[in-house]
Amino acid sequence: MSDERPEGVEAYSHPAGGWDALKAVAKTLKHQQIVAQGSTTLLKANQPEGFDCPGCAWPDPKHTSSFEFCENGAKAITWESTARRVEPEFFAEHTVSELWEWIDHKLEDQGRLTHPLKYNGATDKYEAIDWDHAFALIGAELNKLASPHEAEFYTSGRASNEAAFLYQLFVRAYGTNNFPDCSNMCHEATSVGLPLSLGVGKGTVTLEDFDDADAIFSFGHNPGTNHPRMMTTLHEASRRGVPIIVFNPLKERALERFAAPQNPVEMVTLSSTRIASAYHQVRTGGDLAALKGLMKLIFERDEADLAVGGEGVLDRAFIAEHTIGIDALKEDLANTSWADILSVSGLTMEALNSAVDVYLNARNVILCYGMGITQHANGTANVQQLANFLMLRGNIGRPGAGLCPLRGHSNVQGDRTVGITEIPNKALLDGMERAFGFRPSAEKGHNAIESIEAIAAGKSKALICLGGNLAVAMSDPDVTFAAMRKLDLAVHIATKLNRSHLLTAKTSIILPCLGRTDLDTQASGPQAVTVEDSMSMVHASRGFLKPPSELLKSEPAIIAGIAMATLGTKYDIDWDGLIANYDRIREKIEVVFPDFHEFNSRVRVRGGFRLDVPASYRVWKTASGKANFLVAPGLDEDPRLKDPTTLVLTTLRSHDQYNTTVYGLDDRYRGIFGRRDVIFMSSRDLAERGLRDGDRIDIRSAAGNGGGKTVIGFTAVEYNIPVGSVAGYYPEMNAVIALDHYDRKSGTPSYKGVPVTIAKSEAQAAA
């Protein structure tokens, strides 16, 4: 690599965290013009009387923590509590066509939405409309459809339990199960895969389990950016001498070393703590191979130990009492060659052996994973192999051990728990009947990809979005954007303006809502909502800031407004009563889901309560009544990736973004400043294509991935990443991901296993 790096690329040598994190927060506060108000807001995040941080779903130490510093939590909060406003005058000045040309960052950076808006096709502008008109219009449009199945109801995972529950009530009373959900693009592989393995689609550990872990394995997640409060846990574990074994194609700085801003010694002495004790740069999509390699070694070690009269290394008592299927797993591993395991994973035998040493030396192992595992064409299989790996040594369902999926949005898990699902089970339908006296349809509805397909095919004509930015989050903007422009009705319940709102339908409406930090006052007084974190803890969240505009309504109130305008008195649901006091919503949640018994009193106890996770005490709610070892045939995530000219693109979040919300253009820890139009490539992949660090390149979707999709004129950045793997930013790279490239079992788009080819940019060649 030459000393001259491309513009905006600069090696970053500091540990993650530390003073640079504090500086970044100061800068954010200043930019959002909330220096005074913002800093007190931050102090209320994740406090017993405060609001739940919208940044991530990592739990809090018994919810009694002192202020836990978190740079990206601070960004999420200040982004929402900004002093900036986007008012009707703004929309009078800018047509939708003009706004379409703005970058995503600039759209959201205008500030909080203040008025309900309706699109006027004649002027190409959004104009203020009053709430009653908006609701009436939406109700009329929904009632015009030939069938309720012609409407899609999207949920993004920031919605509270109360909002999500009312939403599913409204939609089921209306008559469909079309619930595309951000979870479909995120941890669906967990929700679909783990119930078959363990009988529950959630993590099995609690935060306290980390105190008893003897080793932590980490696959495909980047906590320094995406779950920053987890760094406190990893920092503590590392300082206790707990080995942390990482499998990730990129060397993420926070997984290498971290300076805790709470630690005065590290701050003053500019020192830091090593996080990963071993860092294995697995090839993108090579996790299945790596896991099979690890398990194959465990079986080999077991046989060797038995041969010399030992007891073996498997937890035979656990396997005999609690599991079925181990023989088939063993056979699959026996039939998998070492040559294939090593070439597909990109790891050496020594690396795999060293990881197995750590695994076998540890009594209790926790395994954490994120999108690097789930967002693949074989995401569900990946998740199930993680479960197998733990089960071999009984590392599920006892203190200090278990599976820890890092969830995405702060309440994505809760939304699922309270009924956002396109496949309602009998318990849900029975519960709804008990609580509301009608039996909803059992017919399977659409997930996120199916909803876009239905809209593209003209079968679905209306889309209501409870938050999020579906068009930009989804793969294949060619198809997705065009589909959304064909809608008859598009409704967005949102805090800030984004590109999905600009894909106008015949009738397009934006309904501005309160956020987590805002005070929510209803007829009975100030309200709290509830959320569920990654570890199944349910607790209250209460905003306290003066809302950005007097016109804003809460999400539950907006849903009730749409419901009344659409359903009238159907099923005699007392929408006004439910909104007047959210305790009444919680009473209904408790009737539908008995797990929430005494909901209102338990959620008022400091720290809230944990929902039942039977696998965490070794009760298996599977069809067999046992934990199942499940076999995933083969190693390749997708045979189409075999073509040697093909590179596997993975798509990542920068340090300055929250999903489609781009706070800024830096990605400090990866050494990228002021730009996002880059592709990380190994020196060998560059050389083989006659490319150099800083060259302009075009990225094309390769065989089997839609063909012909391109992103042009990006810049190649030489980077420490395995040969054959390249990385770029989400959402920019969604343009080369075909809509039909997804995990057939869970419907999760293969955002992290995209076959592409890369060559010098034709634009540059021509110039």
What is the contact surface with ligand MGD in residues (CB under 6 A)? 55-56, 72, 108, 156, 158, 182, 185-186, 219-222, 225-226, 247-250, 252, 282, 284-285, 287, 370-372, 375, 406, 408-409, 466-470, 473, 493-496, 498, 513, 515-516, 555, 650-653, 657-661, 730-731, 733-734, 751-752
- Contact between residue 747 and residue 487 where contact means Cβ atoms under 8 Å apart: no
Which residue lies nearer to ligand MGD by CB, 111 or 467? 467
388 binds, among ligand MGD, Mo ion, none (CB under 5 to 8 A by kind): none
Rounded-to-integer distance, Cα 293 and Cα 312, Å:
18
Rounded Cα–Cα distance for residues 188 and 197 (Å): 14
Taking the complex as a whole, the smallest distance from the CB of residue 315 to ligand MGD amounts, in Å, to 25
Q: How far is the CB of 373 from ligand MGD (least distance, A)?
A: 6
Per partner kind, with CB cut-offs from 5 to 8 A, the member of ligand MGD, Mo ion, none near residue 730 is ligand MGD
Q: Residue type for 361, please? A: N
Closest distance of CB 513 from ligand MGD, Å: 5
Is the CB of 507 or the CB of 660 nearer to ligand MGD?
Answer: 660
Question: Nearest approach, Cβ of 624 to ligand MGD (angstroms)?
Answer: 29
Handedness of CA 131, 134, 140, 146 (dihedral sign): negative
Handedness of CA 486, 488, 493, 495 (dihedral sign): positive
Minimum CB separation of residue 96 from ligand MGD in Å reads 16
17's contact among Mo ion, ligand MGD, none, with CB below 5 to 8 A by partner kind, is none
Minimum Å gap between C-beta 183 and Mo ion is 7
The nearest distance, CB 186 to Mo ion, in angstroms, is 3
CB atoms within 10 A of CB 735: 16
In angstroms, give the least distance from the CB of 151 to Mo ion. Answer: 24
For ligand MGD, the closer of residues 596 and 663 by Cβ is 663
Q: Which is nearer to ligand MGD, 505 or 754 (CB)?
A: 754
CA gap 232, 363 in Å, rounded: 23
Report the Cα–Cα distance between both ends of the chain, in Å, rounded: 25
**Cα–Cα–Cα angle for 360, 61, 235, rounded to 5 degrees:** 50
Smallest gap, in angstroms, from Cβ of residue 75 to Mo ion?
17
Pick what 513 binds: ligand MGD, Mo ion, none; C-beta below 5 to 8 Å, kind-dependent: ligand MGD
| Residue 456 contacts residue 476 (beta carbons within 8 Å) | no
Which does residue 421 touch among ligand MGD, Mo ion, none (CB within 5 to 8 A, set by kind)?
A: none
Which residue number is nearest to Mo ion in terms of Cβ?
Answer: 408
Task: Please identify, using beta-carbon distances, which residue of 628 and 651 lies nearer to ligand MGD.
Answer: 651
Q: Based on CB atoms, which residue is closest to Mo ion, 159 or 603?
A: 159
Quick one: 400 or 749, whose CB is closer to ligand MGD? 749
Q: Is 320 exposed, middle or buried (0-12, 13-18, 19+ CB in 10 A)?
A: exposed
Peptide bond into 731 cis (omega under 30): yes
605: left (phi over 0), alpha (psi -120 to 50) or beta: beta
CB 235 within 8 A of CB 258: yes
Taking the complex as a whole, the smallest distance from the CB of residue 460 to Mo ion amounts, in Å, to 23
Task: Report what 555 binds from Mo ion, ligand MGD, none; CB cut-off 5-8 Å by kind.
Answer: ligand MGD
Q: How many residues bind Mo ion (CB under 5 A)?
A: 2
**Shortest gap between Cβ of 157 and Mo ion (angstroms)?**
7
The least distance separating ligand MGD from the CB of residue 237, rounded to whole angstroms, comes to 18
Instruction: Indicate the residue among 187 and 588 with the shorter CB distance to Mo ion.
Output: 187
Joined tokens for residue 156: 């993004």
Residues within window 364-423 making contact with Mo ion, judged by CB under 5 A: 408
Burial (Cβ within 10 Å: 0-12, 13-18, ≥19) of residue 723: middle
Measured distance CA(31)–CA(584) in Å, rounded: 40
Nearer to ligand MGD, 356 or 511 (CB): 511
Q: Tell which residue, 386, 359, 214, 367, has the closest CA to residue 301.
A: 359
Applying the rule CB under 5 A, the residues between 336 and 365 that interact with Mo ion are none
Question: Least CB distance from residue 658 to ligand MGD, whole Å?
Answer: 4
Shortest separation between residue 617's beta carbon and ligand MGD, angstroms: 27
Q: What is the dihedral of CA 441, 187, 212, 54, to 10 degrees?
A: -90
Closer CB to ligand MGD, 231 or 250, in the complex: 250
| Pattern 438-457, Mo ion, x by CB under 5 A | --------------------
Q: Residue 177 in 3-state DSSP?
A: coil
Site string for Mo ion, 157-186 (x = CB under 5 A): -----------------------------x
By a kind-dependent CB cut-off of 5 to 8 A, residue 734 interacts, out of ligand MGD, Mo ion, none, with ligand MGD
Residues 685-724 within binding reach of Mo ion (CB under 5 A): none
Q: Which does 689 bind (CB under 5 to 8 A by kind): Mo ion, ligand MGD, none?
A: none
Q: Which is nearer to Mo ion, 160 or 715 (CB)?
A: 160
Question: Which among 287, 280, 185, 276 has a CA at the least distance from the CA of 238?
Answer: 276
Nearer to ligand MGD, 552 or 615 (CB): 552
Amino acid at 680: F
User: Given the complex with Mo ion, which of 116 and 408 has the nearer CB atom?
Assistant: 408
Per-residue CA distances from 134 to 141, 293, 485 (Å): 11, 57, 20
CA 99 – CA 112 distance, rounded (Å)? 16
Comparing CB distances to Mo ion, the nearer of 56 and 213 is 56
Helix (H) / strand (E) element for 495: namely none
Residue 69: CA atoms inside 13 Å, Cβ hemisphere, count?
18
Closer residue to Mo ion in complex, CB, 199/379: 379
Residue 54 touching Mo ion (CB under 5 A): no
Which tokens hold the place of 739? 């809509």
User: Choosing among ligand MGD, Mo ion, none, which partner's interface includes residue 515 (Cβ < 5 to 8 Å by kind)?
Assistant: ligand MGD
Choose the contact partner of 455 out of Mo ion, ligand MGD, none; CB within 5 to 8 A by kind. none
Q: Give per-residue burial for 432-444: e unless 16+ CB within 10 Å, then b.
A: beebbeeebeeee
- Least distance to Mo ion from the beta carbon of 182, Å? 6
258 neighbors 237 (Cβ within 8 angstroms): no
Measuring CA to CA, which residue among 444, 496, 488 is closest to residue 469?
496
- Phi-psi sector, 119: left (phi>0), alpha (psi -120 to 50), beta: beta
Distance in angstroms (rounded) separating the CA atoms of residues 156 and 448: 11
| Residue 249 contact, options ligand MGD, Mo ion, none, Cβ 5-8 Å cut-off depending on partner type | ligand MGD
Q: Per-residue contact track with Mo ion, 185 to 224, x per CB under 5 A?
A: -x--------------------------------------
Task: List the one residue out of 60, 55, 84 whose CA is nearest residue 71.
Answer: 55
Q: Which does 384 bind (CB under 5 to 8 A by kind): Mo ion, ligand MGD, none?
A: none
Please state the closest distance from residue 168 (CB atom) to ligand MGD, in A. Answer: 15
CB of 308 to ligand MGD, least distance (A): 34
Length of the chain in terms of residues written: 767
**Which C-beta is closer to Mo ion: that of 336 or that of 380?**
380
Nearer to ligand MGD, 8 or 223 (CB): 223
Neighbours of 425 (CB within 10 A): 10
**H-type helices in 175-270, by residue range?**
188-198, 209-212, 223-226, 230-239, 253-256, 264-269
Binding site for Mo ion (CB under 5 A): 186, 408
